[in-house]
């Protein structure tokens, strides 16, 4: 990877970390109802998303892919508006951004990505889908069905598992038989790759190769990025109840951002820090300025054509306002 590209990856990772820290602070201040931190997983997220071709590919995130949104240059105020609880799925244009609304259903985005990939294959668009999920979600039945479907139809999709060691409070060793998500790929006729999820360049290269293969008709790939969630599962979680401080410290020494920064001159790292500070201030200001959406939008965009039941609910709601 050339120096310019690597600097861009480091800059995105650093920005994702700073926005993540600000989101936690906003939740503690009562601005955000809840938040799922991504600290420690920036290389896996940024490195994989940076490999996408945004003219034809599409990404399907969970609720923890802030680094993906940053790497894809999504409007971060619009993205984080979902956490502010004033709009479901974010206020950005998903079609234009090539990033689906984030999904809080465990394993939920995996089936959506496979459906999109089937459409892309039938339409011959030449694009590929990437879907994100965790090691815990890999045990969901939907994920296995999606992989089997992708294998049977040789669909252009990359299954990107961020194995951060914990399914909330359950270690991977207790919920992934065999200990490897990537190894499961063989059972569905897919390629399986395990990569150092804290090495942003390695993640980028592995994902780019998988996307190229998918677009060329070679079928799906399961990528297992081995990383670690340095923070809690969510702002309502206390990781100290189920893992040791020594383990956290050991993984902190493998921090993906510090690791990338060692390849760069100090002046470039300092400039990236200044840029991140500026963006964080803009995002914070933008979030605080958002106001609730019109209440009637509760009934908008649910279906392309509103159903009889939905129209009846809307009528009852309007009548309740007049009481």
| Angle CA 37–38–43, to nearest 5 | 170
- For residues 217 and 311, state if they share a domain: no
Reply yes or no on whether the pLDDT at 85 is more than 80: no
In this structure, are strands 58-60 and 129-134 parallel, antiparallel, or unpaired?
Answer: parallel
Range of the domain at 308: 295-323
Q: Residue 64 maps to which CATH number?
A: 3.40.50.970
CA distance linking residue 64 with residue 11, whole number of Å: 19
- For residues 150 and 184, state if they share a domain: yes
- For residues 67 and 87, state if they share a domain: yes
pLDDT, mean of residues 18-44: 96
CA atoms within 13 A on the CB side of 112: 20
- For residues 71 and 210, state if they share a domain: yes
Instruction: Kindly name the residue from 64, 98, 233, 284 that is annotated as catalytic.
Output: 233
- DSSP letter (8 states) at residue 19: H
- State yes or no: is 83 an active-site residue: no
**Which residue has tokens 């490897």?**
180
Q: pTM for the full model?
A: 0.93
CA distance linking residue 296 with residue 241, whole number of Å: 43
Question: 142-183, pLDDT tens digit by residue?
Answer: 999 999 999 999 999 999 999 999 999 999 989 898 889 999
- State yes or no: is 229 an active-site residue: yes
- For residues 311 and 237, state if they share a domain: no
Question: 216-270, pLDDT tens digit by residue?
Answer: 999 999 999 999 999 999 999 999 999 999 999 999 999 999 999 999 999 999 9
Instruction: Kindly name the residue from 11, 83, 229, 284 that is annotated as catalytic.
Output: 229
Cα dihedral 7→196→42→185 (10° resolution): 120
- Domain tally for the chain? 2
- State yes or no: is 262 an active-site residue: no
- For residues 272 and 305, state if they share a domain: no
Question: 122-139, pLDDT tens digit by residue?
Answer: 999 899 999 999 999 999
Q: 102 pLDDT band (50/70/90 cuts)?
A: confident
pLDDT, mean of residues 197-223: 98
pLDDT (0 to 100) of residue 89:
66
- For residues 36 and 185, state if they share a domain: yes
- For residues 194 and 309, state if they share a domain: no
CA distance linking residue 79 with residue 69, whole number of Å: 8
> Within the chain, what is the greatest distance between any pair of CA atoms?
66
Q: Token pair for residue 277?
A: 């500070």
Instruction: Kindly name the residue from 242, 249, 274, 315 that is annotated as catalytic.
Output: 242
């Amino acid at each position: 990877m050339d120096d310019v590209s690597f600097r861009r990856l480091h800059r995105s990772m650093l920005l994702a970390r700073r926005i993540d820290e600000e989101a936690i602070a906003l939740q503690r201040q009562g601005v955000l109802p809840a938040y799922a931190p991504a600290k420690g997983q920036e290389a896996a997220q940024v490195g994989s998303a940076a490999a996408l071709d945004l003219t034809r590919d599409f990404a399907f995130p969970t609720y923890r892919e802030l680094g993906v949104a940053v790497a894809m240059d999504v409007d971060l105020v619009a993205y984080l508006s979902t956490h502010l609880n004033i709009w479901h799925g974010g206020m950005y244009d998903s079609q234009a951004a090539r990033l689906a609304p984030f999904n809080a259903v465990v394993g939920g985005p995996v089936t959506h990505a496979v459906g999109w990939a089937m459409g892309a294959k039938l339409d011959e668009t030449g694009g590929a889908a990437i879907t994100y999920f965790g090691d815990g979600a890999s045990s969901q039945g939907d994920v296995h069905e999606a992989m089997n479907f992708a294998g049977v139809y040789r669909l252009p999709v990359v299954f990107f598992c961020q194995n951060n060691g914990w399914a909330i409070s359950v270690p991977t060793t207790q919920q992934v038989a065999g200990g490897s998500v990537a190894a499961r790929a063989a059972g569905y006729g897919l390629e399986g790759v395990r990569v150092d999820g804290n090495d942003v360049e390695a993640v980028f290269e592995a994902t780019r190769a998988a996307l190229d293969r998918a677009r060329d008709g070679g079928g799906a790939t399961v990528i297992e990025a081995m990383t670690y969630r340095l923070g809690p599962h969510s702002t309502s979680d206390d990781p100290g109840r189920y893992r040791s401080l020594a383990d956290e410290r050991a993984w902190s020494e493998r921090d993906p951002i510090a690791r990338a920064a060692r390849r760069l001159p100090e002046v470039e790292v300092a400039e990236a820090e200044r840029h991140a500070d500026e963006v964080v201030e803009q995002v914070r200001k933008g979030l605080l300025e958002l106001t609730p959406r019109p209440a009637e939008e509760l009934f908008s965009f649910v279906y392309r054509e509103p159903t009889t039941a939905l129209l009846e609910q809307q009528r009852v709601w309007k009548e309740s306002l007049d009481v």
